[in-house]
Structure 1
Amino acid sequence: MEGTRMEALIETLYTVTLTDYPGLPAKERIAAEARYCKALERRIGPPEDVVHALKAVERLADDGDVSELTDEARRLVSQWHLACNTARTAGLQGLGDLPEAWFEVRVS
Structure 2
Amino acid sequence: MPLRITLQDYPGADPAMLTTAVTRFRRELERKLGDEAEAAFKAFQNASESSANELTKEEHRLATAYHAAYEAARTAGFRDLGDVQEAYFDVRLT
Question: Paired residues, what number?
Answer: 94
Q: Which whole-Å CA distance do the structure 1 matches of 2:72 and 2:9 have between them?
A: 19
13, 29, 44: which is aligned to 1:40? Answer: 29
Q: Which residue of 2 aligns with 1:4?
A: none
Q: Which residue of 1 aligns with 2:52?
A: 66
Q: Which residue of 2 aligns with 1:54?
A: 41
Q: Flag the structure with larger Rg.
A: 1
- Structure with higher helix content: 2
Q: Which residue of 2 aligns with 1:25?
A: 14
Post-superposition, which runs of at least 4 consecutive aligned residues in structure 1 deviate over 4 A? none
TM-score norm. by structure 2 comes to: 0.92
| Aligned residue type for 1:56 | A
Can you give the 5+ residue segments of structure 1 that lack an aligned partner in the other structure? Answer: 1-11
* Cα root mean square deviation, aligned: 1.2
Alignment pair present for 1:13 and 2:2: yes
Cα deviations by residue, 1:13-53 (Å, 9 ceiling, x for unpaired): 1110001111111111111000000000111114xx21111
TM-score norm. by structure 1 comes to: 0.81
Q: Which whole-Å CA distance do the structure 2 matches of 1:59 and 1:81 have between them?
A: 13
Q: Which whole-Å CA distance do the structure 2 matches of 1:26 and 1:99 have between them?
A: 18
| Aligned residue type for 1:82 | A
* TM-fit CA distance, 1:61: 2.3
Cα deviations by residue, 1:47-80 (Å, 9 ceiling, x for unpaired): xx21111111112223x22102111111111111
Can you give the 5+ residue segments of structure 2 that lack an aligned partner in the other structure? Answer: none
